[in-house]
Structure formats: C-alpha cells, structure tokens
Amino acid sequence: MKPVVHVELTGKAIKTVLVLMAFISAILALVWLLVSPSYAIAGGIGVVLAIKGLYALFTPSSD
C-alpha cells in the first residue's frame, strides 16, 4: 500500500507564496545591481531547481 499525501492550498498560502517570490526577486535584483549579474543568474537557477524539486516531491509517481 502506497502512502497518500494530501496537500491543500488556501488563499493565504497562495498569497504567502506570491510575497515570497516577490521577496526573492527583489533580492536577486539587488545582487544583480550590487555584486554581479552572474551571481544573480546562478541564484535564479538555484531557485528554479528548488521549486522543481519541491514540485517533484509532491507530485504522485506514475507507477
């Protein structure tokens, strides 16, 4: 028997995710301006990979 994970998104959770994404974008913009575009691009790639990993973690397998 496979375990079942139930995730429920509420309006507050969606708002929190949007605020977090805006905060991360602002940080990457500051890194772009103050340090170097290459560090900001690397940070953006890291954020995308983290989001894809979380998505894969909560997506049911196709078995």
Give the global pTM.
0.71
Contact 28, 41 (CB under 8 A): no
Contact 43, 31 (CB under 8 A): yes
Distance, in Å, from the CA atom of 60 to the CA atom of 5, rounded to the nearest integer, reads: 9
Instruction: Give the model confidence (pLDDT) of 32-61 as tens digits.
Output: 999 999 999 999 999 999 989 888 887 777
Residue 27, C-beta contacts closer than 8 angstroms, at least 6 positions apart = 43
Q: Residue 1: which pLDDT band, with cuts at 50, 70 and 90?
A: low
Q: What is the C-alpha to C-alpha distance for residues 16 and 25, in angstroms, rounded to an integer?
A: 14
